[in-house]
Structure 1
Amino acid sequence: MAIETILLAVGPGDIDRLDRLAEETVDVAGPTGATVVLGHVFTKSEYEDAVSKLDFDRERDRVSADDVANRHASIRKLVNAFKNAEIRHNIRGAVGPHGEQIVELAKETDADRVIVGGRRRSPTGKAVFGSTAQEVMLSAPCPVTFVRSDTK
């Protein structure tokens, strides 16, 4: 199966692993020529906070999740990395439960691979994995690559 579209799922906990996520994504997208969809999922409260912090004029404009994602610092950093590596990319935003929305973005974009980040866990933490990454791994319509951060 050819890899034509990769969904790189980014959320609020990924700021410390953006470089690693970019490296792993470039390692797959570069040789395959895939387009990377940078998907930033916000909960309702995260979306509201981001709209406020990014100074959108809500009375003048309708602010979509795509608009917020396009202006988000983590996405801008990844965009720079992909431009430097000459990787085609586009940006999508979504509002809702992280895992559920990542799976939905994977379906909507017809992703051939999803890349998600997560943190290292203790044995007890692994037993209680119940995380966004686990939900995506179990529910995504395509293979999922889990990029673990080096910090605990």
Structure 2
Amino acid sequence: MIATLFSVLTFLAVIGSGLAAGLFFIFSNTIMASFARLPAAQGIATMQQINLTIINPAFMAVFMGMVVLALVLGGKALLGWSEAGAGWLIAGAVAYVVGCFLVTIIFNVPLNDQLAAVDPSSAEGAALWATYLSDWLPWNHVRTVASMISLGAFAMAFARTA
């Protein structure tokens, strides 16, 4: 029963980290490049709306739920180090918590907060936008890669425990 529960949790971590990887990938690959081609005021206003809209129950359930899943699965793996897939669970947990969650909180959210405070049509906004694009995107690339690593690691753990 416990093994089945952890298999289900690992499967959910595969799905959750895959959703995170897809979200961050589309921002890195397409959305931010599209915004950079817009006039600053339009790019700022659109990103401000995205930053407001993304804080919703579905996104938060995946984003924060993955933190909980990663900590539970990582803790289980530490306690059962000799069990099949334990190393993969730890790798997935560390990749998600550090590379996705902490990077978001430490780097991307403060940049989003700065952007939220400017008038899109102001000179200050235009200056901030140029810096925002160059500072926000590399951290999003980190989140993209980290969530892809998390996805792969959780998938490997699932394959070894299912």
TM-score band, normalised by the shorter chain?
Answer: under 0.3
Q: Whose strand fraction is larger, Structure 1's or Structure 2's?
A: 1
Q: Whose helix fraction is larger, Structure 1's or Structure 2's?
A: 2
> For the pair shown, which has the larger CA radius of gyration, 1 or 2?
2
